[in-house]
Structure 1
């Protein structure tokens, strides 16, 4: 089934509306299906940002900004799956160069409004977290806390290191302690994730958490970028529901236009739930 068939099906559910109004709504819905998410990823050198992105996302990667660019500009990479795009913004890790941390603070304040989510990687064996804590509370602050998801990376390096190709019970216990520590230090909005790309451990849970943490308009486009094993039924159901709700929000916005006559507003409200239900049903046509 094609995207156009999905649009046509939604249009039929709005047959009772004036054509100009349904066309306006369809334009908004079309822009939702074209939404290009932007995800920031930060962490100190060696935290495994590239390997994590490669493990989670299926898109072909192309640099948008010059890799030799000055550190004032974060590196941007565009991922493409079919006709869909997503941008990864590689943000500099804090605490490695104290002279630059002030500069980074300004950079983050500039970037944060444009990001749908920030994945903040902290290595399982990293104990120097004072700078991260300070930066989080002073720069991220209350305004953007909901955009940050902490990830304990390289969980296979947690003590005592294992050699049998899977995390030992002792390692899992230490990772759990690290999760509790991060919750204490940062008091994050979202649960802390722990992963090991090398052992392919924790990645599915992380993918599901990402979809739960994203704003509604970004979930479906991000699902389409995930590697297939992570496009689970739960992930797709969440994206489907979010798409329905964003379509419902479009109708609510149009209904609130001051020049809409009361009888037309009543029709919009009458068809809203049907349109939302149809949008959920045709989700696969778009994503």
Structure 2
């Protein structure tokens, strides 16, 4: 019901456009609100991929492929919250098998164009990063660096470990050193995250980093999948802004249609800011 109310409000904001232009923008808006993000998650065995995803996302999980059926195809899971879907792609960690790394490189090159974001998990106590660094430079390369968000997982295992219910000052200092090390080794586009699922530490910051790292079209449907505690005002405001700007981009596309009459182009430009503002206002109706 709220979904239809939001769509009608957006349609009303387009009433000054010719019908064909209004319908084309509404078609883009339908695609936006139904977009299904695809997020890859990689890390060596024991990095905690499953526990991290379970902690972050609220969606009902359904396997959509069987990794045993084809070693070249990673395991995929589809998450659903209401009418929104998202796919998680479980990518193999590198460095565990030299024989397989060549195969994995081919697999990554095939998968990377289809992914909106890659969560690259590195265990807090993992010091063997040479293979990761080589793989990042040779396979991820400049073309896809913007898609990678590095995550230091299991931060509670940072030395000196105590098994307590909170990180010690010494652990936090060592985590900061690890973050600096990853920035030196990988020169990532996005700031490195550090989390502990066991302690529920760092997850809120990671959710905010994810929404800032995703393409604009993917941020809102990803936010719909987050557990409630991580749908912070900062997260929602970024997604809301992305949605508005993406609707604005849809108007720009219509404005740039070849041979469009000049008066129509003038009207589109005149209403653009209003339509973007309306899209931001009705974001909650959709997500």
Q: TM-score range by the shorter chain?
A: over 0.9
- 1:1-287 alignment to 2 at 5 Å? 2-287=2-287
Residue 71 of structure 1: CA displacement? Answer: 2.5
Which secondary structure does the structure 1 equivalent of 2:69 belong to?
coil
Which secondary structure does the structure 1 equivalent of 2:87 belong to?
strand
Q: Is the 8 A contact 1:123 1:152 kept in 2?
A: yes
TM-score normalised by L of structure 1? 0.99
Q: Is the 8 A contact 1:79 1:87 kept in 2?
A: yes
TM-score normalised by L of structure 2? 0.99
**Cα distance in structure 2, aligned partners of 1:71 and 1:124:** 28
**Cα distance in structure 1, aligned partners of 2:97 and 2:48:** 19
**Cα distance in structure 2, aligned partners of 1:103 and 1:259:** 49
Give 4+ residue runs of structure 1 displaced > 3 Å after superposition: none
CA RMSD of aligned residues (A): 0.8
Q: Is the 8 A contact 2:67 2:73 kept in 1?
A: no
Q: Is the 8 A contact 1:120 1:151 kept in 2?
A: yes
Kindly tell me the number of residue pairs found equivalent between the two proteins: 287
**Cα distance in structure 1, aligned partners of 2:149 and 2:71:** 23
Which secondary structure does the structure 2 equivalent of 1:77 belong to?
strand
**Cα distance in structure 2, aligned partners of 1:70 and 1:167:** 41
**Cα distance in structure 2, aligned partners of 1:32 and 1:190:** 24
**Cα distance in structure 1, aligned partners of 2:24 and 2:65:** 35
Deviation larger for 41-50 or 255-264 = 255-264
**Cα distance in structure 1, aligned partners of 2:41 and 2:247:** 29
Residue segments in structure 1 that go unaligned for 5+ positions in a row: none
Residue 67 of structure 1: CA displacement? Answer: 4.3
